[in-house]
């Protein structure tokens, strides 16, 4: 009985089938919903191929079907490597452990980890909200490799509500200008003056107040809406620039943040080209910051995008260098004009004590030197940090020590001064 209710690959229920059959459980007490997701499944596919990936999914389906085998258990594969189970809450934890034990024996060269998010729905609770919550619990341990299962709690619900709010109100926030762009000065060490500025998005919401980019950006990335923000912010930068240009005021190059997803989700280069043409902005006045990525799958599209941008005359900067797992590989595989050293290097950095941090920063810096790439350190907060980073040879610095993000016009009023740029 294949059809929209049965998954072709594994024979388990589909999402639709699961929702339909879960109606039989209405009014029942003592249920648990479990959302399973396989760690690094994308990487597994890249390494071993899709065929082997499909086999693993089938094997997992079999394991789950063997362990959650009572008539009362409902099993589904929702998409990719997302499996969902409705079961008896009394046996849920023990069964999850058993699944994990089986899994360890499945593949010789790789350790597979199936993360599990658990939620206990109340009687008659909508099944969709139940599995959303189980998924939230599952997502919450994505980066925590020391645990493999997690129970939903109320804090996660608040997070879910905020995520929903962000997604629902995004367009409204654009239209009503609740989302804005501020600029943080970047200082060239050799002149001691501001040479550029980084554009950073801000969301001031009438209902929720200030929403941090640390909250709305990961949500927009997760739900693949990030390009909307990036296009909006990029256009705003072009307009701000144009306004100063039309008034005959001084100008500096501005860097914008792009998500690597922008290269998949839209024709980001065409969007940028259209905006700079309308606003009469030379390409050398816009820099593109992109955060390093560890996902091989995205590499080709991203690499083509980076090379195209550079060939057109844009500088492309690598953001947050040192924050991910594969910074060195990324440096090897892509060509950047500048690398921005992640702020974490400097967090709590005491010039007189942190020898290790010094070794790491200075050896990475020499590597950048050898590759002929400019080096920028972010998050400079104290005069001591500035002095140290200057002494080891950074080209540019950025941080609260020089200025927090502010309006573009305010940058030009700072006492430190701005380098003159001769723009056409
Ligand atoms: P980022 O690109 O690494 O930006 C630097 C962040 O560090 C900014 O936070 C900035 O306000 C903060 N910062 C700068 N100097 C200091 C300092 O001295 N000390 C400390 N503690 N923090 C400092 P913000 O604006 O909250 O942005 C957070 C992240 O959100 C950004 O990190 C960037 O990844 C992302 N983001 C912001 N705007 C956009 C955007 O328009 N598009 C995309 N895709 N991402 C954006
Ligand atoms: Ca940045
Ligand atoms: Ca950064």
Query: In the chain, which residues have pLDDT < 50?
Result: 1, 424
Residue 309's domain comprises: 162-422
Q: Which of 152, 186, 216 is a domain's end point?
A: 152
pLDDT at site 190? 96
240 and 111 part of one domain = no
Q: Tell me: do 250 and 140 sit in the same domain.
A: no
pLDDT at 155: 86
Which positions are annotated as active-site residues?
378
Q: How far is the CA of 257 from the centre of ligand 3 (A)?
A: 9
- Asked whether residue 146 falls in the same domain as residue 168, the answer is no
pLDDT tens sequence across 227-270: 999 999 999 999 999 999 999 999 999 999 999 999 999 999 99
pLDDT value for 424: 46
Same domain, 195 and 53: no
How far apart are the CA of 347 and the centre of ligand 1, in A?
14
Q: Is residue 140 part of a domain?
A: yes
Query: Using CA positions, which residue lies closest to atom 3 of ligand 1?
Result: 320
Looking at the structure, tell me whether residues 28 and 135 fall in a common domain.
Answer: yes
pLDDT value of position 329: 75
Looking at ligand 1, which atom is closest to the CA of residue 262? 44
pLDDT given for residue 187 in this prediction: 98
Based on the fold, state whether residues 105 and 210 are members of the same structural domain.
Answer: no
Distance (angstroms) between ligand 3 centre and the Cα of 374 equals 15
Same domain, yes or no, for 200 and 287? yes
DSSP for 196-261? EEEEEEEEEETTTEEE-HHHHHHHHHHTT-HHHHHHHHHHHHHHHHHHHHHTT-----EEEEE-TT
Determine, yes or no, domain membership for 157.
no
Of 152, 177, 205, the last residue of a domain is 152
CATH number at residue 332: 3.20.20.450
Helices 154-175 and 127-139, packing angle to 10 deg: 100
- Could you tell me the distance, in angstroms and rounded to a whole number, from the CA of residue 290 to the centre of ligand 2? 7
- The answer to whether residues 237 and 175 belong to one domain is yes
Query: Which residues, including other chains, have CB under 8 Å from residue 52's CB and lie 6 or more apart?
Result: 44, 45
Q: Mutate which of 343, 382, 397 to test ligand 1's pocket (most atoms within 8 Å of Cβ)?
A: 343
Q: Which of 152, 187, 213 is the last residue of a domain?
A: 152
In a domain, 42, yes or no: yes
Give the residue, by CA position, lying nearest to ligand 1 atom 37: 200
Tokens 């509500």 label which residue?
Answer: 161
Which CATH number characterizes residue 142's domain? 3.30.70.270
Q: What is the pLDDT of residue 293?
A: 64
Looking at the structure, tell me whether residues 383 and 323 fall in a common domain: yes
What's the total number of domains in the chain? 2
Q: Are residues 166 and 235 in the same domain?
A: yes
Helix 50-67 / helix 41-48 crossing angle, nearest 10 deg: 130
Is 310 part of a structural domain of the chain?
A: yes
Is residue 187 within 6 Å of ligand 1 at its C-beta? Answer: no
Same domain, residue pair 131 and 181? no
In a domain, 311, yes or no: yes
187 located within any domain: yes
**Residues 314 and 181 placed together within one structural domain of the fold:** yes
């Amino acid at each position: 009985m294949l059809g929209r209710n049965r998954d072709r690959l594994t024979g388990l229920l589909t999402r639709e089938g699961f929702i339909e059959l879960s109606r039989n459980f209405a009014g029942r007490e003592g249920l648990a919903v479990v959302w399973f997701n396989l760690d690094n499944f994308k990487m597994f596919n890249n390494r071993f191929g899709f065929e082997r990936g499909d086999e693993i999914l089938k094997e997992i389906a079999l394991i789950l079907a063997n362990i959650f085998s009572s008539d009362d258990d409902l099993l589904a594969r929702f998409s990719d490597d997302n499996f969902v189970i409705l079961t008896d809450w009394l046996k849920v934890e023990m069964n999850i452990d058993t699944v994990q034990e089986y899994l360890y024996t499945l593949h010789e060269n790789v350790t597979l980890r199936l993360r599990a998010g658990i939620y206990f729905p109340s009687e008659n609770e909508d099944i969709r909200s139940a599995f959303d919550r189980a998924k939230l619990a599952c997502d919450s341990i994505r980066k925590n490799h020391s645990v493999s299962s997690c129970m939903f709690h109320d804090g996660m619900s608040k997070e879910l509500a905020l995520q929903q709010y962000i997604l629902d109100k995004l367009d409204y926030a654009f239209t009503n200008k609740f989302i804005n762009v501020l600029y943080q000065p970047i200082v060239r060490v050799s002149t001691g003056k501001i040479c550029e500025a980084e554009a950073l998005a801000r969301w001031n919401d009438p209902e929720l107040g200030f929403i941090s980019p640390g909250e709305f950006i990961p949500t927009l990335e997760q739900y693949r809406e990030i390009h909307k923000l990036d296009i909006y912010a990029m256009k705003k930068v072009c307009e701000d620039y144009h306004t100063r240009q039309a008034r005959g005021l001084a100008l500096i190059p501005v860097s914008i943040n792009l998500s690597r997803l922008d290269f998949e989700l839209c024709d980001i280069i065409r969007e940028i080209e259209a905006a700079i043409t309308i606003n009469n902005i030379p390409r050398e006045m816009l820099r593109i910051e992109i955060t390093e990525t560890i996902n091989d799958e995205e590499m080709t599209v991203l690499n083509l995008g980076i090379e195209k941008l550079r060939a057109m005359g844009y500088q492309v900067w690598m953001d947050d260098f040192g924050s991910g797992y594969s910074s060195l590989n990324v440096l090897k595989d892509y060509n950047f004009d500048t690398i921005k050293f992640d702020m974490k290097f400097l967090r709590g950095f005491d010039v007189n004590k942190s020898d290790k941090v010094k070794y790491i920063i200075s050896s990475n810096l020499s590597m950048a030197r050898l590759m002929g790439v400019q080096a920028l350190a972010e998050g400079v907060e104290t005069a001591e940090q500035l002095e140290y980073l200057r002494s080891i040879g950074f080209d540019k610095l950025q941080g609260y020590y020089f200025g927090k993000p502010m309006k573009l016009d305010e940058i030009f009023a700072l006492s430190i001064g701005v380098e003159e740029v001769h723009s056409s």
